[in-house]
Amino acid sequence: MEQVAALELRSVDLQSPRNNKGHHTQEMGLKRLIVRRGQLFNLQLNFSRPFQPHTDSITFVAETGPEPTELLGTRATFFLTQDRQEKVWSASDFIIDSNSLQVSLFTPANAVIGHYTLKIEISWDKGHSVIYPLGTFILLFNPWSAEDDVYLPSEILLQEYIMRDYGFVYKGRESFVTSWPWNYGQFEEDIIDICFEILNKSLYFLKNPSKDYSQRNDVVYVCRVVSAMINSNDDSGVLQGNWGEDYSRGISPLEWNGSVAILRQWSAGGGQPVKYGQCWVFASVMCTVMRCLGVPTRVVSNFHSAHNMDGNLTIDTYYDQNAEMLPSEKQDKIWNFHVWNECWMIRKDLPPGYNGWQVLDPTPQQTSSGLFCCGPASVRAIKEGEVHLAYDTPFVYAEVNADEVIWLFRDGQAQEILAHNTSSIGKEISTKMVGSDQRQDITDSYKYPEGSPEERSVFMRASRKMLGPRRTSSPLLDLLGSRDFEDRPVQLQLHLARMPVWGQDVLLMLHIWMVPDRAHPWGPVRLVVRFCAQPLLHGGGTREPLWRQMVHLSLDIGKEIQWPLLLPYNNYRNKLTDEKLIRVSGIAEVEKTGQSMLVLKDLYLEPPLLSIEVSERTEVGKALRVHITLTNTLMVPLSNCAMVLEGSGLINGQITKDLGTLMAGHTIRIQVDFYPIKTGPRQLQVLISSNEVKEIKGYKDIFVAAASAS
């Protein structure tokens, strides 16, 4: 009998372009094989002779991580068979065509994600075998697969929360929400490698690399690792936080346009934290990483967000009798806004009913299992007050539900409650609307309507779990129970007489009126109202007062007073933080009774606006001309103006330009040409910063068509 020659591998085609398109990874490039778990991919093996299934034996070996083993799930060995086996690694559905062999490989939907090496072992009689390397591939989570824990059964949502590489971050105040464009750029060619580099620098990996790799099949685990690694509080994380005002050793958090520059700088620096980040930067970078890894993710802003470190569901703030907000030694604060992430997943570690959106917060606020990370906390659990469920649900619950108690501080102690607000925290919880540039209010997914029976019931349930016996006895609760602070004869409100603009005087109107059933029997009420304006910091604190005023008023029954207040530009010039926020507070004291009443107004001073115009038709590889116009509407020059342009699929990296000084009232027009790289919907982000105003931002949505035939 003639002996058949040994089967030898001559070449392999991983069919990356075809596979990547089928796995929704073509945006990451077509040169490397990047696939999603729980889904078939194909490859072609070319041999020295035709494959003979009855006599030739081929074994596939896929490995990831250091010291891969089948026990840890980091090594898989599987034979070539005609029929595919469900839920395990398999090579099947093969087609023999002369000397080539088409094979379909399947990875289970619970496989470890990461960089894999793939090889085959060809065996023939008498135990002879040869091993051939086939190449490498990257395996990601698969939200298109019903078997994967990140399955999201909506193509519209997948296009938004996986495929969209730009979006918006919402900032400002609940009364004046502003949208900031952000370039996520998760499909830029090197970002996928940087994402795994982040996992490989985590403390979990450094402590036990093999165990860490083996847990990368679990989306809950991966999310927690990424949440810890985006900040650098206890590891070589991506970003260093800075909530001060000195950014001279790095870049102000306000001056980032997107995640790509941050991630590339971190990687190029060997894992040195990038300076600097605040909550919206941390959350936006985490969104990039999670979307890149295949986890549906969005960025969420919570306005008037509680930072409740002692877990008592109460945030105390203090004012003196001159209406100045006082610094507190407590770590508890109310942030103007706070930004976190939501990731979509099944929670097999929780009872039924808590799947779906989960809060992940990479901003370093408190430790969780010893590291600065937060979540995943089920949004449903937060709404229902199920604060005992993992992870970090009590902290997130307090961020959207804590009570605010405002005290009058006099003679060295808190003497009087000026206000007890049960519904002021957790307002206008916002994310980008699907398929639109509009903002979506998702507050109702976090809590029942304020004051409703369901909301109070949930609050009491959460309080009992978080506070236990502490809830039953407290001087604060005794004071609140008396409700004396509500029986005040007059009401006060502060309104803006016109929209405040940075560089101009601010005009406010005090509206004051008598409460009919609390009117004093002796006639008019005489008041002295003391006002104070302070720069407001993003983290809820204030700086030294920049303006004070005192007004004496007399109010008759049935009468109202409108009293104008002018805050001159010269008072706040050079005194505000980069956020351009001012808190105006007033305390009215009734002369006869000594009762005090508080009125507050937070102001956001708008920077100048820029406009962006592009030519009508945009094609890949064809020069696109962009015109950017900025008029300095301020009363002062803008010095050291610098422009940064960014946009994944439009520009490779960034385009920067120094613009010099823009005099008050003058207009600058800038023309920029570039060559779009990818087709489809894209977003151009433009940032102009100066010494006076750090954040003049704009964006333009651009649809890029395929190159037309010449």
> Using an 8 Å Cβ cutoff, are 180 and 170 in contact?
yes
> Using an 8 Å Cβ cutoff, are 697 and 686 in contact?
yes
Which of 23, 24, 304, 338 is the catalytic position? 338
Which of 165, 235, 332, 361 is the catalytic position? 361
Is 361 annotated in the active site? yes
> Using an 8 Å Cβ cutoff, are 535 and 575 in contact?
yes
> Distance between CA atoms of 646 and 417, rounded to whole angstroms?
49
Is 279 annotated in the active site? yes
Neighbours of 265 (CB within 10 A): 17
Q: At residue 315, what is the residue type? A: I
- For tokens 């936006």, the residue is 284
Is 374 annotated in the active site? no
Encoding tokens for residue 189? 């060619």
Give, rounded to a whole angstrom, the gap between the first and last alpha carbons of the chain: 62
Beta-carbon-side half-sphere exposure of residue 669 (alpha carbons within 13 Å)? 4
* Beta-bridge mates of residue 566: 507
Q: At residue 423, what is the residue type? A: S
> Using an 8 Å Cβ cutoff, are 425 and 401 in contact?
yes
According to the annotation, is 257 in a ligand binding site? no
Q: What angle do CA 603, 605, 609 make, to 5 degrees?
A: 145
According to the annotation, is 188 in a ligand binding site? no
Q: What angle do CA 428, 263, 219 make, to 5 degrees?
A: 65
According to the annotation, is 42 in a ligand binding site? no
> Using an 8 Å Cβ cutoff, are 400 and 422 in contact?
no
> Distance between CA atoms of 297 and 186, rounded to whole angstroms?
12
Residues contacting 524, CB < 8 A, separation 6+: 554, 555, 556, 557
Which of 195, 279, 343, 374 is the catalytic position? 279
CA–CA distances in Å: residue 693 to residues 91, 214, 642:
59, 48, 11
Give the distance between the most distant pair of CA atoms in the chain. 124
Query: For the packed helices 219-230 and 279-293, what is the interaxial angle rounded to 10 degrees?
Result: 140
> Distance between CA atoms of 350 and 377, rounded to whole angstroms?
10
Long-range contacts of 124-130 (CB under 8 A, 24+ apart): 124/6, 124/7, 124/55, 124/56, 124/57, 128/6, 130/6, 130/8
> Distance between CA atoms of 139 and 108, rounded to whole angstroms?
11
Residue 311, helix vs strand vs coil: coil
Neighbours of 367 (CB within 10 A): 14
Radius of gyration of the chain (CA): 30
Dihedral over alpha carbons 135, 138, 142, 144 (to 10 degrees): -60
> Distance between CA atoms of 538 and 580, rounded to whole angstroms?
10
> Using an 8 Å Cβ cutoff, are 541 and 243 in contact?
no
According to the annotation, is 193 in a ligand binding site? no
Encoding tokens for residue 163? 């495929």
- For tokens 């992430």, the residue is 341
Q: At residue 9, what is the residue type? A: L
Residues that are catalytic: 279, 338, 361
Annotated binding site for Ca(2+): 401, 403, 450, 455
Binding-site positions read 401, 403, 450, 455
